[in-house]
Amino acid sequence: MAKYEGKCPSLREADLYTGCSFNCVYCIAAPRHSEEVRPTGREQDIIAGPFSSVPLYLSPWTDPYPPCEEAHFRTGSLVRYLSKTGQPFYVITRSLLVRRDIELIRGSSRSFVAISLNTLDEDITGLLEPDAPGAGERVDLIQDLIGITGLRTVVRIDPIIPGITDGERLTELLQWVLSAKPFAIGLETLRMDRFIASRMKNALPEAMFNRMMEYYTQPGEVPVHPAQEWRLPLFRRIAALFDKTDIRACFCRATLPKQITPWDCRGGY
């Protein structure tokens, strides 16, 4: 079913692990993660269920390829099943381990892989995503994937963090994307709440944190995006940058007054 009825395309979701090992300080799902990253068993529900033409999203609240996937092989087994049965699916990951399953993703009907990368700045990646592969490693991964015939590769620029990964850093990243020529890009801004603000305050230099918070109202219990007066012009500028290219620029339609491009937030279909 759609996440936001009437605005989002239909999808199925499955988190195959209880949490994530990458410890991104802005992670909106961190409060629901367990301390131990372990299999949830959800792959068995999908395998035992009926065939579906509704795309399956791996994984909405965790990364589908944590380091322990090498031992447990839960994502790998499900990707093999989906590929064999022809059911559509997609993965969004920061992990280099996705290389292992690329041929299966490439060979599946209506499937794609999205690699999360919101800056080329290794120092910023180290602050924001301390246990994830570095920006350079993900750049190399994306370039390798783009070179594979028949594979839909999406660059997921999510989140754009105002005052940190916008401005010159975002321009540099977008120029690199234009030269790399993936199938699509997906973009979204950081949603802020009290919990995320406290984590980021502990992780970031004071000046950087204060600059970011200038874009948000006083954080509360409900996560909110930066002001629409800043966000919409940013998205429209990005859409215009990609308008004359073969690269789809995709934005979450549920949070916008109207759709900016013909493509939905997933982009891979």
Q: What's the whole-number mean pLDDT along residues 11-21? A: 94
Per-residue pLDDT tens digits for 178-225:
999 999 999 999 999 999 999 999 999 999 999 999 999 999 999 999
Per-residue pLDDT tens digits for 70-110:
999 999 999 999 999 999 999 999 999 999 999 999 988 78
Rounded to whole angstroms, the Cα distance separating 190 from 81 reads 34
Sheet holding 184-189, edge to edge: 12-13, 56-58, 89-93, 111-116, 153-160, 184-189, 248-251
> Which residues form the domain of 223?
12-255
Does residue 260 belong to any structural domain of this protein? no
Does residue 269 belong to any structural domain of this protein? no
Per-residue pLDDT tens digits for 212-263:
999 999 999 999 999 999 999 999 999 999 999 999 999 988 888 899 999 9
Inter-axis angle of helices 206-213 and 194-203, nearest 10? 150
Residues in the chain: 269
pLDDT reported for residue 6? 62
Rounded to whole angstroms, the Cα distance separating 159 from 146 reads 22
pLDDT reported for residue 1? 41
Rounded to whole angstroms, the Cα distance separating 63 from 73 reads 13
Q: What's the whole-number mean pLDDT along residues 6-16? A: 84
> In Å, how far are 62, 67, 91, 92, 130 from 268, measured between CA atoms?
20, 25, 10, 11, 28
Amino acid residing at 254:
A
Does residue 268 belong to any structural domain of this protein? no
Give the chain's domain count.
1
What number of H helices and E strands is found in the chain? 10, 7
Q: Are 229 and 165 in contact (CB under 8 A)?
A: no
pLDDT band of residue 51 (cuts 50, 70, 90) is: very high
Does residue 7 belong to any structural domain of this protein? no
Question: Looking at per-residue confidence, does 241 or 33 come out higher?
Answer: 241
Does residue 46 belong to any structural domain of this protein? yes
The tokens for 229 are 């007066």
Q: Decide: helix, strand or coil at residue 126.
A: helix
Inter-residue long-range contacts of 43-49, CB under 8 Å, 24+ positions, other chains counted: 43/14, 43/16, 43/74, 43/75, 43/77, 43/78, 43/81, 45/14, 46/12, 46/14, 46/78, 46/81, 46/82, 47/77, 47/78, 47/81
Residue 172 maps to which CATH number? Answer: 3.20.20.70
The tokens for 232 are 């919409």
Q: Are 54 and 9 in contact (CB under 8 A)?
A: no
Does residue 172 belong to any structural domain of this protein? yes
Does residue 90 belong to any structural domain of this protein? yes
Q: What's the whole-number mean pLDDT along residues 10-15? A: 92
Q: Please list, in sequence order, all residues whose beta carbon lies within 8 angstroms of the beta carbon of residue 136, skipping any fewer than 6 positions away.
A: 120, 122
Q: What's the whole-number mean pLDDT along residues 39-43? A: 96
pLDDT band of residue 34 (cuts 50, 70, 90) is: confident
Per-residue pLDDT tens digits for 147-166:
999 999 999 999 999 999 99
pLDDT reported for residue 16? 97
pTM of the model: 0.95
The neighbour count for residue 153, using CB atoms within 10 Å, is: 25
Rounded to whole angstroms, the Cα distance separating 208 from 190 reads 15
Does residue 6 belong to any structural domain of this protein? no
